[in-house]
Structure 1
Amino acid sequence: MSKRVLVISTSLRGDSNSDLLAQQFAQGARQAGHEVEVISLAGKDIRFCKGCLACQTTGRCVIRDDADAIVQQKMLHADVLVFATPIYYYEMSGQMKTLLDRANPLYSADYAFREVWLLACAAEEGDEVWKRAAEGLGGWV
Structure 2
Amino acid sequence: MDSNWLLIALAPFLGVFLVRFGVDGLRRTRRLRRTGVTADGWIVRNAARQRRSDGAKRTFYYPVVAWTTEDGRTYEYEHSCGNDAAFGVGAPVTVRYAPEAPDEFTIEGWAPDIPYGALTVGGAVLAVGSVTALIVRFLAF
**TM-score normalised to the size of structure 1?**
0.22
**TM-score normalised to the size of structure 2?**
0.22
Higher relative contact order (CA 8 A, sep 6+): 2
Q: Hey, which of these two has a bigger chunk of strand by percent?
A: 2
Rg comparison, structure with higher value: 2
